Amino acid sequence: MPIFRVNLNTLILLSFLQGAMLLLFCSWYMGQSPFSPVSVNNTAKVHVLLLSTYRSGSSFMGEVFNQHPSVFHFMEPAWHVWNSLQKHGAQVLRMAVRDFLRSIFQCDFSVMDAYLPNSQRVSDFYLWRRSRALCSPPVCSLTPRNQMSNESQCSKVCGGHDLQLVQEACGTYSHVVFKEVRIFELESLYPLFQDPSLDLRIIHLVRDPRAVLRSREHVSGNLATDSAIILEQRHIPAAEVQFQVMQEVCRSHVRIIERATLEPPPFLKGRYKMVRYEDIARNPLKEINAVYEFVGLKMTTELAKWIYSLTHGIQTDKLPFNVGSRNAYKISEAWREVLSHNRVKQIQELCQEAMSLLGYRPVNSEEEQKSLDKDLLMPLEQYNPGTI
């Protein structure tokens, strides 16, 4: 019988290799390969999609995330998809939007090559100057991360930097948040919920359709291209466009809420929260604290002061897509004095199902509409489809 002899040096080498293999296996098993970058604070990133529609308070809510020092935020990144492929309808574009979001949620901005073929600068991003992360290191030295950004200063200083810096910056934040108004159902997003590299949460922001209609009418020219895409490029009389768009918006709210709350797929559990703009307008700090808690963020003293001043100011809603100090509650009720009762009745008929589901009471006369002491918002606990 042959005898195998192993000297001491060989045993030491074998022991070392065995230990190294064990270390590699454990590192792989724990999801922290020594050859891969470790995520911020050794914890997984949280990915948040603020899902809403135009003129629903989404710019304000986006800013609530944007100014948080732990958040990397963009406004409406899918604009690049719709702007590049605007001859199509929303149904055709939804998969392109989904794949685009997957890439940038993972801080992979090489996908921009398809939508920015001739330039690769920060200023090529849609509404880039409103992103605090693009005005802060490592992208730009203008704004320290723990300070509020200044849009006008950022636009003068930070636009010329390379997109590689954006990708590097994205990887250093614990939360990646995108505000989006171009998604009208949840089904196309299912692969993102099931992607093990993403921890996706949905904040679904809704608003009284009557208030949305009033606000859309002020900026209808700015929304013409998107309205055509929402209406699948159908030829619709100009006087009916806004009502047809609102009908699609209301239908989308119903679809999303029912899909998320009535026998939802298991991967949606704990990942969806519906928020009404009117509740935020009435009690901003309470509601925003609840949103922060849902996605794992902490309110800071500076943010609390800023949110209060932003929602208790005197500025009127004159600039489309602008976020400034204003009286949020007064803005939320302005439609009651501005819209004709005939238009209110029409939108109530088109959006009856959504209004009932979301807790918005109809008005049956002009007198009832103008009586601001009559509360048209049902208490949350009476109807709330819930956070799942």
d(CA 201, CA 271): 5
Q: Which of 153, 357, 341 is nearest to 274 (CA)?
A: 357
Distance CA(372)–CA(388), nearest Å, equals 34
Paired tokens of 311: 């929602």
Residues 354-364, mean pLDDT to the nearest whole number: 96
Check the CA dihedral 300-302-305-309 and report its sign: negative
Sheet holding 200-206, edge to edge: 71-75, 175-180, 46-51, 200-206, 272-276
At residue 232, the 3 state secondary structure works out as coil
R_g of the chain computed on alpha carbons? 24
Q: Which amino acid is at 384?
A: N
End-to-end CA distance of the chain: 68
Query: What pLDDT does residue 18 have?
Result: 52
- Residue 121 DSSP code: B
- Structure tokens of 246? 């609102």
Give the Cβ contact number of residue 131 at 10 Å.
Answer: 25
Give phi and psi for 326, each to the nearest 5: -160, 170
Instruction: For 67-105, write each residue's pLDDT tens digit.
Output: 999 999 999 999 999 999 988 999 999 999 999 999 999
* 8 Å CB contact between 40 and 174: yes
Least confident of 4-8, 81-85, 270-274, 330-334: 4-8
Q: Summarize pLDDT for 95-140 with one digit per residue, the tens.
A: 999 999 999 999 999 998 888 877 778 888 999 999 999 999 999 9
Residue-level pLDDT at 205: 97
Digit-coded pLDDT (tens) for 251-285: 999 999 999 999 899 999 999 999 999 999 999 99
Does the CA dihedral 329-332-334-337 come out positive or negative? negative
The CATH architecture of the domain made up of 40-107+171-383 is 3-Layer(aba) Sandwich (3.40)
Residue 24 pLDDT exceeds 50: no
How does pLDDT run across 161-181, given as a tens digit for each residue? 888 899 999 999 999 999 999
The encoded tokens of residue 278 equal 């009117």
Omega before residue 144 within 30° of 0, cis: no
Question: pTM of the predicted model, to two decimals?
Answer: 0.83
DSSP-based helix, strand, coil % in the chain, nearest 5? 55, 10, 35
DSSP string covering 108-175:
-GGGGGGT-TT--BGGGSTTGGG-GGGGSTTT-SSS-TTS---HHHHHHHSTTSBHHHHHHHHTT-SE
**Mean pLDDT for all residues in the chain:** 84
- The Cα 58–Cα 49 span in angstroms is 11
Phi, psi at 377, each rounded to 5°: -105, 120
44: left (phi over 0), alpha (psi -120 to 50) or beta: beta
